[in-house]
A and B are shown apart, each in its own frame.
Chain A
Amino acid sequence: MPNLVESLYNIRILDELAEKRTIIHNIHPLMKVLTTGVYLMVTVSFGKYELSGLLPLIFYPVVLITLADIPIVPIFKRVLLVLPLIIGIGLFNPLFDKNPMIVLPWIQISGGWISFFSILIKGFLTILAALILIATTGMTRIASALRIMRIPRLFIMQLLLTYRYISVLIEEVGRVVRAYSLRSPGEKGIRFSNWGSLTGQLLIRTLERAQRVYHSMCCRGFAGEYNVGREKGMGIGDIVYFVGWSLYFVIIRYFNIPAMIGSLMMGVGK
């Protein structure tokens, strides 16, 4: 139950954020999708022992979150919920890879820990990038980006329908589960013997709903084809956004800027 409420709440928060109108929100969805793609590719392309080189990637979420007015708390809550799964796998690295890699005067750090932190940072950045994309774009505009990318409309239509009916069905499921638990106090979930019929009944109702949705589509001239309006035009600014970020990502991929800064600093300091 908390799961149901929680996930509905999560979707609605992101939806609400996507309705804002900031510079970032106004950028063409296709460019945002592509930029996210380049960002993810560059992020995961860093070797498993590269740590400092990864850090300049943090500028992307920092700039976007502030420019797009994204509240940090709900986003980070989500990140913290997902990160443990990655940590679970990553924690094996320090166990299996004990070769010292970083040697500082006061400490030695094994390669396993380095690669663990590398996974951790990558996990953090990639999760953030996905959430930022949806929080600044929203499902409707992501769908229009997909259309421009020539993803078949049948798939997009079906994706949007799923997205649309998630909130309807979560509420319906919520009602049924609540009614069930009111009559069976002290149970944590649904007894297995009842699960099949409860879910089955919900499923039959869902199928009937699908039928009604289909009818209402037909009444408005639906003939198996999903027709869309004009896509938003792309301006110079949108292209600059994509090219600019991509250039930045590529540069930090090929030059370890923090290491350069570091050695510069130390050179000056000495």
Chain B
Amino acid sequence: MSHHIIQVNNLKYKYPDGREALNGVTFRITHGESIGIVGANGAGKSTLLMHLVGVLFPDEGEISVGDVPVTKKTLPVIRQRVGMVFQEPDDQLFMTTVYDDVAFGPRNYKLPEEEVEKRVKSSLDTVGILHLKDRPPYKLSGGEKRAAAIATVLAMNPDILVMDEPTSALDPKSRRRLIMLLQSFTHTKIIATHDMDMVFELCERTIILQDGKVITDGPTAKILSNVELMEECGLELPLGLQGCPVCGTK
């Protein structure tokens, strides 16, 4: 299916204050892939993801999703295909109940209310919080908020899931649950994170970003075990690959 292919060509972006956040990023992602985008704070991960959903537009270079270039005109199509889970769930859950939040997207696409309800329920069910549908967002725990934020995106039936630091601020149990959930998805996944262990578990491919440039792009197992490379980029090996501090073996 060609419409799952994401092509990013020589992407450059400068924030209005002159900060060059992206400096010629190029990659291609094919159907069903799981990609980890890693890099230190300020490397440009969030900026890159914003371009994939057309929140920001490049100063130079182009992006296409499927065969559709990301431009102002194609936004409705792009945003149906690419669902973005933002870093801060509170920014994504802006309605007064979980149900209305999840229904927000489908309703914007003017779906009949029966269809909206079906989608809301099935996406809440998928992330396992159907019982919380009438709750106000502030009454959810961190993990539940994250699940609700993911449900708001799933309700749009996207082909591609884009996530910005999905495990930040989660306790170990919620994090584990989230990783299992993401593992069960068959979508193309693009995950920006510092959580090397999650990348190690979820993504077969990793792109390292530094100062708005792609440093490496390749199989996760190979990249994340490269000690020099990781250190150079201000990153750490996944715990699973670090030597055991107690017994000194791997």
Contact = CB atoms under 8 A, between A and B. Distances in A.
Given A215-B50, A221-B108, A229 B91 contact: no
Nearest to B114: A230
Interface string A1-34: 0000000000010010001000000000000000
A218 B86 CA distance: 12
B108 A164 contact: no
A228 B107 contact: yes
B84 interface: yes
A229 B96 CA distance: 14
Contacts, number: 77
Q: Chain B contact residues (Cβ within 8 angstroms of A): what range?
A: 35 or more
Interface majority SS (helix, strand, loop, mixed), chain B? helix
B96 A139 contact: yes
B105 A216 contact: no
Contacts of B169: none
A93 interface: no
A222 B76 CA distance: 9
Interface string B28-66: 000000000000000000000010010100000000000
B94 A227 contact: no
B222 interface: no
Interface string B98-115: 001001110111100100
A220 B113 contact: no
Interface string B196-222: 000000000000000000000000000
Contacts of A216: 84, 86, 91-92, 94
A182 interface: no
B85 to A, nearest CB: 9
B107 A140 contact: no
A76 interface: no
B113 A140 contact: no
Interface in B143-172: 152-153, 156
A227 B108 contact: yes
A219 B79 contact: yes
A247 interface: no
Contacts of A140: 96-97, 100
A209 interface: yes
A134 to B, nearest CB: 13
B137 A221 contact: no
B152 A212 contact: no
A167 interface: yes
Contact of B108 (A19, A163, A220, A230): A220
Interface string A30-69: 0000000000000000000000000000000000000000
A234 interface: no
Contact of B86 (A139, A160, A212, A227): A212
Contact of A164 (B50, B79, B94, B152): B94
A80 interface: no
Given A220-B105, A223-B108, A227-B110, A19 B134 contact: yes
A220 B79 CA distance: 7
B80 interface: yes
Given A215-B50, A230-B113, A168 B138 contact: yes
Interface in B107-144: 107-110, 113, 116-117, 134, 136-138
Interface of A: 12, 15, 19, 139-140, 143, 160-161, 163-165, 167-168, 209, 212-213, 215-223, 225, 227-230
11 contacts: A140-B97, A168-B90, A212-B86, A212-B91, A213-B91, A215-B55, A215-B86, A220-B153, A221-B80, A221-B109, A227-B108
5 residue pairs, one from A and one from B, having the closest CB atoms: A221-B108, A220-B105, A227-B107, A212-B91, A167-B138
Given A15-B136, A220-B108, A227-B108, 20 more contacts: A19-B134, A161-B94, A164-B95, A164-B137, A212-B91, A213-B91, A215-B50, A215-B55, A219-B79, A219-B83, A219-B84, A220-B105, A221-B105, A221-B109, A222-B104, A222-B108, A227-B110, A229-B100, A229-B113, A229-B116
